[in-house]
Structure 1
Amino acid sequence: MSSTMRTRRTLGSLAATAVLTAGLLGASGVQAPQASAAACSGTTGVTVVVDFTALGGGIETGCAVGDPASGLAALTGAGFPYAFHPRFPGFVCKINALPTTCTNPTGTAYWSYWHAQHGGAWSYSNLGAGGYNPAPGEVEGWSFGAGAQPGITAP
């Protein structure tokens, strides 16, 4: 898939997420954070990298502007909607509707969660994304498969 097609797909996902988020939060008057299809600059937010390679896709990057309260908030703030596994609450089963079906998590088929500093090495998270509070300037990573880190250096 070309870089242009990936960017368009990412921007389409961001637009759909923005519409959904606005609809969900509009009644409360709370505004959703803006998402960007590129890495955050400095400490303007939390950069999120999602590696879809094992699912036949590429690697996508987004920016959750501001200071998201959790790794899950960073994920959605960067334009990546997610779904929990129906039988394992709190366990992320899909990101951007991938994989297409939720299977029981195994050692070879799950979304692994990572942290890094810009340009630094990935570190496997020993906390779930709902319990981790990333600081602006940090990079969050997600990779589907057997627990391998995202396939790029943290941007």
Structure 2
Amino acid sequence: MLASGAASASAQGLPAATPQDCLKAGNVWVYVTYSDGSVVANSCATDFGTGEAALKSAGVDVGKDAKGMICSLDKKPNPCPAKFNGQYWNYYTSTDGKTFTYSQKAADQSKPVKGSIEAWCYNKASEKSCTPKTLSLTAEVPDASSSTPSSSASPAASSDSGGSSSSTAWGVGIVAAVIVIGVVVYLVVRRRRN
């Protein structure tokens, strides 16, 4: 668990079409997920003096236990666990959305860098920790405020770095080209026989 002692502030999430837009503008992207890849928050932060400030600026509600440790993000879990059972919000930083580095500082002590990603992942009780799934920097961002944890990741989260929709489009294109070539060959052969 991460210690944090700053007072609560109002959420000031900045609309951004993609994480890439947010990062190019010199802001910080906040990406909060469960170990199964379901997304809790996926938003741009314009105030990021600390990791906790970035969370709040991105519209994430930060809950703390009696010791001042972050124990819930966006009221997940709710309520905060009364005693530690091995599950906690793992805190990472990233510059590309693919490689995540575990933060060595608590959220109230970290200093996010402009154009970077602040990522959080809540591990299952059976896991020691979790690392966020790959974040596509060009994917459109869903309305994270209306999403609830589920077994599927948001469109902005992807477990592969290539993007499955691009692969599907290429596959369909290749199949269509093979069919067209087959039809042309069939017609040419048929004409030669007549």
TM-score, structure 2 as length reference: 0.55
Residues 25-75 of structure 1: CA distance to partner in whole angstroms, max 9, x if unpaired? xxxxxxx75523652141431001000355x9435311002x511000001
Cα distance, 1:97–1:33 mapped onto 2, change above 3 Å:
closer
- Residue from 91, 99, 104 that aligns with 1:113: 91
Alignment RMSD: 2.4
Aligned residue for 1:63? 44
Higher strand share: 1
- Residue from 68, 71, 87 that aligns with 1:93: 71
Cα distance, 1:34–1:102 mapped onto 2, change above 3 Å:
closer
Equivalent positions of 1:28-107 (< 5 A) are 33-36=12-15, 38-39=18-19, 40-52=22-34, 57-58=38-39, 60-65=41-46, 67-85=47-65, 87-89=66-68, 91-103=69-81, 104-107=83-86
State the aligned residue count: 121
Aligned residue for 1:9? none
Gaps of 5+ in 1: 1-19, 22-31
Contact 2:15–2:44 (CA under 8 A) maintained in structure 1: yes
Contact 2:97–2:134 (CA under 8 A) maintained in structure 1: no
User: Aligned partner of 1:149: which letter?
Assistant: T
- Separation (CA, whole Å) in 2 of partners of 1:131 and 1:62: 21
Cα distance, 1:84–1:136 mapped onto 2, change above 3 Å:
same
- Three-state SS of the structure 1 residue aligned to 2:45 is strand
- Separation (CA, whole Å) in 2 of partners of 1:73 and 1:122: 20
- Separation (CA, whole Å) in 1 of partners of 2:43 and 2:13: 10
Residues 70-92 of structure 1: CA distance to partner in whole angstroms, max 9, x if unpaired? 0000011111111111x321x11
Cα shift at 1:136: 1.2
Percent identity for Structure 1 against Structure 2: 26
